[in-house]
Amino acid sequence: MAPPAERTDAQVVRDVLAGDRDAYRLLVRRYGDALHAHALRMVGSQDVAADLAQEAFVTGYRKLGSLRAPERVGAWLFRILANVVRDHLRRTRRRHISLHVLPEIPAPQRGPDEDTVDADVRTRVRQALAKLTPEQQEAFVLKHVEGRSYEEIAAVMDLSVAALKMRVHRAREALQGLLKEFA
């Protein structure tokens, strides 16, 4: 058997399905940061993001037998996470419609461009993002925050590229309406 670091994703999936459940640890190591980062961008809380990433990995383990393309397990796990996050947003926004209470967001590392953004704008940016539908927020974050291609996002969200572009456009329109004096 190849050393853990050299095992391909497909080999790891096969090993886990064959009963070596500890091999799943390799997938958590390989994709934990990416899943956590996306969840954090969507929910704004490190604790919640970690919980959602954890949920996605456990769900992934449970459903591993249904994975058709083991070599694409990373994208598959990301898609599971996206569903988990979407569901979380639906449930929490249902309970907390008031947007006056915003999620805790860690202090970001500022670049030269961001230095010009004042605190008031930052607050309104966060509020505006939280007012999008979970689907719009997800499409917007994947495109304009994470910088993913439309083709990649379409695969995550199971949409056509045309439909996805329209969703991102609608998200931008909504944000523009919410932040009229800024955009």
Partner 1 sequence: MKDEDVRRYLDGETEMDAMDDQARSEARSWDRLLAAFRAETPGAPAPPWLENRVMARIEALPEPGLARRAWSWLLRPRPLRLSPATLGLAAAAVVALVLLPGRRGPAPTGDAGGAAATVVYVQFDLRAPDARSVAVGGDFDEWQGSYPLEDPDGDGIWTGRVPVKPGLYAYMFLVNGSKWVTDPEAAHHTDDGFGNRNAVLAVTAPAT
> Which residues in the 85-144 window bind partner 1 by CB under 8 A?
87, 90-91, 93-95, 97, 105-106, 108-111, 113-114, 116-117, 121-122, 125-126, 129, 133, 135, 140-141, 144
Determine the Cα–Cα distance for residues 39 and 33; give it in Å rounded to an integer: 10
Is the distance from CB of 174 to CB of 133 less than 8 angstroms? no
User: Which residue among 69, 99, 145, 162 contacts partner 1 (CB under 8 A)?
Assistant: 145
At what angle are helices 73-95 and 46-63 packed, to 10 degrees? 130
Indicate the residue among 3 and 111 with the shorter CB distance to partner 1.
111
| Residue 66 interacting with partner 1 (CB under 8 A) | yes
Rounded Cα distance, 160 and 167, in Å: 11
Binding residues for partner 1 restricted to 2-61, rule: CB under 8 A: 17, 19, 21-22, 24-25, 28-29, 32-33, 35-38, 40-42, 44, 46, 49-50, 53-55, 57-59, 61
**Which two tokens mark 33?**
């940061």
Q: Which is nearer to partner 1, 1 or 116 (CB)?
A: 116
| Binding residues for partner 1 restricted to 147-176, rule: CB under 8 A | 150, 157-159, 165, 168-169, 172, 175
Question: Position 123: which residue type?
Answer: T
Q: Cα dihedral angle (49, 51, 52, 53), rounded to 10 degrees?
A: 80
